[in-house]
Amino acid sequence: MDDQSPARAFIGSAPAETAIASELNNLLQVIASTSAKLETICDGITDAGDYLAMLRASTARAAEVTTQLVELSGSMNGKVVLHPAFPRPRQTPLKKESSPKRILVVDDEKMLLILASELLREAGYDVVTAQSGFECLDLFRASARSFDLVLLDLSMPLMNGEETFNRLRALRPDVRVMLCTGYVHQTRLQHMLEAGLAGFQQKPIGSKEYIASVRAALTGATLLELGASCQIGAAV
């Protein structure tokens, strides 16, 4: 029997602590998104505001602790990183798109798919979901030109986000893909940006930041259009 401890095990190419941190960020994203929904439902209910404030504060603190967990791993820590040629996302009031864009959301966490789909549809987007890299590729092969953007998780079993991204690029070199994950090593993100990644958003992320970064990724120039390598854009 292998006596390697779980704390030093590797999952794919990521150390166990980074994989654990990504899982924690998935949970925090679910909690934060659900809390936002509860605020709307509980508006006007006596004492609800106090409890929701405690929940928000606890979620924020949990996110800080999770960040500290992987500080020594060299993982990327920034809410949104875009290709430098893309416009910086702006936190403007959410409004529906006049001509709906089609977005493929890929994540192995079912609850995150439900929450992301609802948020994107409320913003006026047409949404298709996939719970694995394999399902993503099957959907993409069937209608590659119909998707305007792919929102892709990094830490997925069997086929991770980076491999899925590379296969998407092989199917359609100008495909626009944004990585949506808890953590990614800076050198790994740099490599993916140079390969044509539209950007990165870190979980947990607020609804306004989420939609703003999606809009920026949709309106920015692709790497194929730029015809040049890129550097990591500024985190916002």
pLDDT tens-digit series, residues 71-105: 545 554 455 555 454 444 454 454 555 578 999 99
The count of C-alpha atoms lying within 13 angstroms of the C-alpha of 125, restricted to the half-sphere facing its C-beta, is 26
Q: How confident is the model over 2-56, as pLDDT tens digits? A: 444 333 333 334 455 556 666 666 777 777 777 776 777 777 676 777 767 777 7
CA dist 40 to 35, 37, 44, 45, 52, Å?
9, 5, 9, 10, 11
Task: Find tokens 């166990």 and name the residue.
Answer: 16
Helices (H) and strands (E) in the chain, counts: 8, 10
pLDDT at 150: 97
pLDDT at 232 over 60: no
Q: Give the tokens for residue 128.
A: 């298709």
* pTM > 0.75: no
Report d(CA 117, CA 1) in Å as an integer. Answer: 43
Which residues lie below 8 Å from residue 94, measured CB to CB, with a gap of 6+?
122, 123, 207, 208, 211
Rg (CA), the chain: 18
Are 219 and 101 within 8 A, CB to CB?
A: no
Task: Find tokens 């590379």 and name the residue.
Answer: 166
Q: Give the tokens for residue 208.
A: 């306004």
∠ CA 9-106-207, nearest 5°, is: 105
- End-to-end CA gap in the chain: 46
pLDDT at 57 over 80: no
Task: Find tokens 């953590």 and name the residue.
Answer: 183
Are 200 and 59 within 8 A, CB to CB?
A: no
Are 101 and 125 within 8 A, CB to CB?
A: yes
Q: Give the tokens for residue 37.
A: 């929904």
Identify the band that residue 231 occupies on the pLDDT scale cut at 50, 70 and 90. very low
